[in-house]
């Protein structure tokens, strides 16, 4: 089957919705997933009404059964997966992005954040890897954040120095480690794995104060999903620029 197939997690809104839309505009069959069936179907219907080839699939990344059934659906229907965009993510520890939560974060918030932003991504990606390896050009995009950069967090005066939401930031640092390790394990194969920083984007998570539109915020994910054979792997990128780990 030559038509590319992409799966985007958390595609019912924000950057994930826009990523699904932009990939579908490239002629890719996009499986737009959502943990909330109603919101997901509404989002997919809106894209289908624009004439785009988008399919809805229920997927709660934290649910083992949900991941298994999404895998079975894609394995049966398509027999491969060309693009996996690990977009779903949460920030639950504070509405104030300017505070340092290291001494105060609750055990529950830390665990929940790592569950969605790190453990679930590792589990889901490793589950789907055999299907991605069946692609002639497999691409895995991990939605990280510049806030996961240890280099910038430890550099006084860096643009993110004052934004120390410990749970969110460290979950993205851990995700970056997964990007590096997985990319190394796949070196020399058709599969590329990269971490994306979308920018500070106007979404529910990014808030209204963010300067970037979702259209621009999806561009890094889309570019990494469509990387050519000589493109990078194991990198941390924002709009083509490499970021420090
Ligand atoms: N916006 C920014 O400025 C910014 C900056 C850097 C990085 N990022 C990253 O970019 C990604 C997308 O963020 P966004 O700004 O578009 O956020 P958003 O508008 O809050 O959307 C997050 C998406 O993730 C979904 N999600 C959360 N938990 C899930 C789960 N267990 N299973 C399936 N889906 C789940 C949400 O579903 P519900 O609607 O059901 O909650 C929603 O669809 C995130 O990984 C975020 O960390 C964003």
Q: Which domains does the chain have, with CATH numbers?
A: 5-242 (3.40.50.720)
Residue 191 pLDDT: 98
Q: Pocket of ligand 1, candidates 12, 15, 225, 239: which has the most ligand atoms within 8 Å of its Cβ, to mutate?
A: 15
| Active-site hit among 71, 78, 161, 168 | 168
Residue 55 pLDDT: 98
| 98 CA from centroid of ligand 1 (Å) | 19
Residue 25 pLDDT: 98
pLDDT > 80? residue 2: no
Read off the pLDDT of residues 110-152 as tens digits, 9 standing for 90 and up: 999 999 999 999 999 999 999 999 999 999 999 999 999 999 9
To the query of whether residue 168 is one of the catalytic residues in this protein, the response is: yes
Ligand 1 touching residue 176 (CB < 6 A): no
Provide the token pair at 239: 């709009």
242 class by beta-carbon count within 10 Å (0-12 exposed, 13-18 middle, 19+ buried)? exposed
- For the chain, the maximum distance between any two Cα atoms, rounded to a whole number of angstroms, is 52
> How many whole angstroms separate alpha carbon 216 and alpha carbon 213?
5
> How many whole angstroms separate alpha carbon 171 and alpha carbon 118?
6
| 204 CA from centroid of ligand 1 (Å) | 8
CA 186 from centroid of its chain's CA atoms = 19
- Whose structure tokens read 């990606």? 125
Decide the pairing of beta strands 236-238 and 54-58: unpaired
Collapse the DSSP code of 194 into the 3-class scheme (helix H, G, I; strand E, B; otherwise coil) and give the result: strand
Q: Hey, whose CA ends up nearest to atom 1 of ligand 1?
A: 206
- Looking at ligand 1, which atom is closest to the CA of residue 143? 45
Read off the pLDDT of residues 157-200 as tens digits, 9 standing for 90 and up: 999 999 999 999 999 999 999 999 999 999 999 999 999 999 99
| 12 CA from centroid of ligand 1 (Å) | 9
pLDDT band at 98 (very low <50, low <70, confident <90, very high): very high
Q: Hey, whose CA ends up nearest to atom 11 of ligand 1?
A: 87
Q: Hey, whose CA ends up nearest to atom 44 of ligand 1?
A: 89
pLDDT > 90? residue 1: no
- Whose structure tokens read 């799966």? 7
Read off the pLDDT of residues 25-49 as tens digits, 9 standing for 90 and up: 999 999 999 999 999 999 999 999 9
* Phi, psi angle pair for 59, to nearest 5°: -155, 110
| Mean pLDDT, range 223-227, rounded to an integer | 98
> Which element (helix H / strand E) includes 83?
strand 83-86
Provide the token pair at 197: 């920083």
Residue 230 pLDDT: 98
Residue 113 pLDDT: 98
Read off the pLDDT of residues 52-84 as tens digits, 9 standing for 90 and up: 999 999 999 999 999 999 999 999 999 999 999
Ligand 1 touching residue 138 (CB < 6 A): no
> How many whole angstroms separate alpha carbon 142 and alpha carbon 150?
17
Provide the token pair at 158: 């860096």
Residue 243 pLDDT: 98
Q: Which residues contact 39 (CB under 8 A, 6 or more apart)?
A: 12, 13
CB 10 within 8 A of CB 16: yes
Residue 15 pLDDT: 99
Residue 227 pLDDT: 98
| 89 CA from centroid of ligand 1 (Å) | 4
């Amino acid at each position: 089957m030559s038509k590319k197939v992409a799966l985007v997690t958390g595609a019912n809104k924000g950057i994930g919705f826009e990523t699904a839309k932009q990939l579908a505009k490239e002629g890719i069959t996009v499986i737009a997933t959502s943990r909330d069936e109603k919101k997901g179907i509404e989002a997919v219907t809106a894209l289908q009404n624009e004439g785009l080839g988008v399919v809805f699939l229920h997927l709660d990344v934290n649910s083992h059964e949900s991941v298994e059934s999404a895998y079975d659906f894609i394995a049966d229907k398509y027999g491969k997966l060309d693009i996996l965009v690990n977009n779903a993510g949460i920030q639950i520890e504070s509405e104030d992005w300017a505070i340092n939560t290291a001494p105060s974060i609750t055990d529950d918030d830390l665990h929940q954040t790592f569950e969605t932003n790190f453990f679930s991504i590792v589990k889901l990606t490793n589950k789907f890897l055999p299907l991605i390896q069946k692609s002639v050009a497999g691409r895995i995009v991990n939605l990280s954040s510049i806030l996961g950069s240890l280099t910038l967090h430890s550099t006084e005066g860096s643009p993110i120095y004052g934004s120390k939401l410990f749970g969110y930031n460290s979950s993205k640092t851990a995700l970056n480690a997964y990007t590096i390790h997985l990319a190394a394990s796949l070196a020399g194969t058709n599969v590329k794995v990269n971490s994306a920083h979308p920018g500070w984007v106007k979404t529910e998570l990014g808030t209204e104060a963010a300067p970037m539109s979702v259209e621009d915020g999806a561009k890094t994910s889309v570019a990494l999903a469509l990387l050519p054979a000589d493109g990078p792997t194991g990198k941390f990128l924002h709009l083509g620029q490499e970021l420090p780990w």
